[in-house]
Structure 1
């Protein structure tokens, strides 16, 4: 091998070409300190009430850090199987639902045998990690605009299917706007999707759907567990990060038929879920009544926040999650700065709007007070799409 000349700078490694086309994930920021005000983080959709008390006991007494975890998370899968009334063979764990999603994309979407990119369809705006994950898998994103109500346009998503489509992502409730898909809508959609295309139902916020009030004559949000048995191409995504308050431990999972899980287990990152995380997740399952009690409180707070904003004349998309969307457009930066001056951090999407997580009761009070002081109001988008 020739030695590089002293007169030339050595050529450094460069990433794959796709890196220049990928957005960077922007995590929710911590609030800025403001003298005299307690800081509240409303930017990451975290559960401010934390996990069940038994998790603290597990963290304090765990002694097996020197041992590798069970790569199959056998105990957790069986606990989930009993809770959901399904087979443990239908469950594959991952480092959060995002880790489980990456396993799905690595298995079913990337570069075809002819060198062309597979296509992955999803609504937009939706979870901002989607385009990053799809691009890193080697596939091509096909973004379908949301309806003016901030919901999935399932008809347009069907029309976007081509012979290159391999995966479709349906985020319900949709992050960051909040609307959910109903079972009737989902089944009608699935009946029109070719059976060789994987459809991922991302239910990261399902427990908040479950606890949400349903008006008379209104169809509730879908429960993917009621649908996937009838569709061998459907995969459900769930997580312990939101309702269970285990965001820092990274536990998620997918549910699908064994015809799919046999491949997902091959793609799964070995030891992605630690033993301490597995035990914490099991404790959350065993004390689901406490988890749901906290979820119901956050849902009640969400409804209180929505009512207060609607009384101000603000348009808020119907949300079934633990956050609200403010369609602020060009006022996004100004509102974000005002929130910072109130020791609140919110999640801004430049020139689009702001997502605000439901936090502690006092944080929600301060958020409402902030909104009361703002002279502009979020409005429903003009036209038929978001």
Structure 2
């Protein structure tokens, strides 16, 4: 029989170099107030009726594996976005894509570059791969510093993450910026453009990654059905990229990861793509009105192009999170600031009450 010792279990040293991903908190229960979770960038609108109808239909049963290749869904993605199915892949949310694209590009001999603050999984997935990480600070207005990011590329760089609209700060990359950046990046370096919120972007100059795929085979577009489609619980993401990159990703993703139910719901939602985009514009209009109301109170709010706004509170982030919690509101405290998802109008009105009171209580708050 083996002796139990006090020696720690041997885990990879890289695990000590980055924090775990921490989901958005649930709202606190406060008597007399409806709780609202504005911490996870979920779609607050009801699901499309056609999607609900599909979810109510019986499937093939839990004893059968789903279509591992997601043939029907990949074909429809190709039809909607004008690419061949061979240039697409379907995964268990965009999160699996982040892991897979890192696995096929990165190890302890490579470097990875990403903007910061941005999506919290970038340091996690690149750190787990053992890559040397280079987090490039955003510009003061919350935008990517693409000049600094391009300057950071070395012979060892294997992967660059971009995020447009940037989560959590909100601004998009412009098409001119992305084009110029790709021209500076060596063609062997994979540039993964995280477009989880692309449907909400209303800036006419926003980057159009699809137009750049043919001229830049190292570009990967990563998207999701979790946000604008309102299918966060279904866990469906997808990428559009060059066939050689897709072939690599297919080797790195989990077999049979996307269930039959999830594939069917995503397919029906994609068949309603015009309605999905119209609903995204509805949320964008709410976002713009909310951001304008915050600015009218005196807050400095970066360009908001996702389904959220960013308050760069810095050291006051904890205090603001507590103030929101007392009003049954869960917001996302990321240390450098607080991200607030667009929710029902009642929730946004209550946030505005909290922000107004917070400014009154903290008159010296630098904005």
CA contact (8 A) 1:51 1:291 kept: no
Identify which of 280, 285, 301 aligns with 2:286.
Answer: 301
- 1:226 aligns to what? 211
Residue 70 (structure 2) pairs with residue 86 (structure 1): no
3-state SS of paired residue (2:358): coil
How many angstroms apart in 1 are the aligned matches of 2:227 and 2:253? 22
Q: Which residue of 2 aligns with 1:289?
A: 274
Q: Are the aligned partners of 1:301 and 1:364 in contact in 2 as well (CA < 8 Å)?
A: no
SS of the counterpart of 1:308?
Answer: helix
Asked if structure 1 preserves the Cα contact closer than 8 Å seen for 2:93 and 2:225, the reply is: yes
Matched with 2:11 is: 15
Cα distance in structure 1, aligned partners of 2:269 and 2:56: 16
Report the Cα distance in structure 2 between the residues aligned to 1:229 and 1:335, rounded to whole angstroms: 46
Q: Do structure 1's residue 100 and structure 2's residue 97 form an aligned pair?
A: yes
The CA distance in 1 between the partners of 2:107 and 2:111, in whole Å, is 8
Structure 1 CA distance for aligned equivalents of residues 327 and 31 of structure 2? 10
Deviations 1:91-112 (A, max 9, x none): 011111111121111111113x
Equivalent position of 2:21 in the other structure = 25
Are 1:67 and 2:51 counterparts? Answer: no
- State whether structure 2 residue 158 is matched by structure 1 residue 166: yes
The 2-side partners of 1:63 and 1:93 are apart by 19
Structure 1 residue aligned with 2:38: 42
After superposition, residues 100-179 of structure 1 pair within 5 angstroms as: 100-111=97-108, 117-179=109-171
TM-score w.r.t. the length of structure 2 is 0.95
Give the distance between the partners of 1:133 and 1:41, measured in 2 at CA: 26
SS in 1 for 2:184: coil
Q: CA RMSD in A?
A: 1.5
Which residue number in structure 2 is paired with residue 52 of structure 1?
A: 48
**Matches of 2:47 and 2:192 in 1, distance apart?**
27
For the residue of structure 2 that corresponds to 1:230, the secondary structure is: coil
Flag structure 1 segments of 5+ consecutive residues without an equivalent.
112-116, 381-386
Aligned twin of 1:321: 306
Q: Tell me, what secondary structure is at the counterpart of 1:161?
A: coil
Structure 2 residue aligned with 1:374: 358
1:335-357 CA-partner distances (Å, limit 9, x unpaired): 1111011110000022x210000
SS in structure 2 opposite 1:222?
A: coil
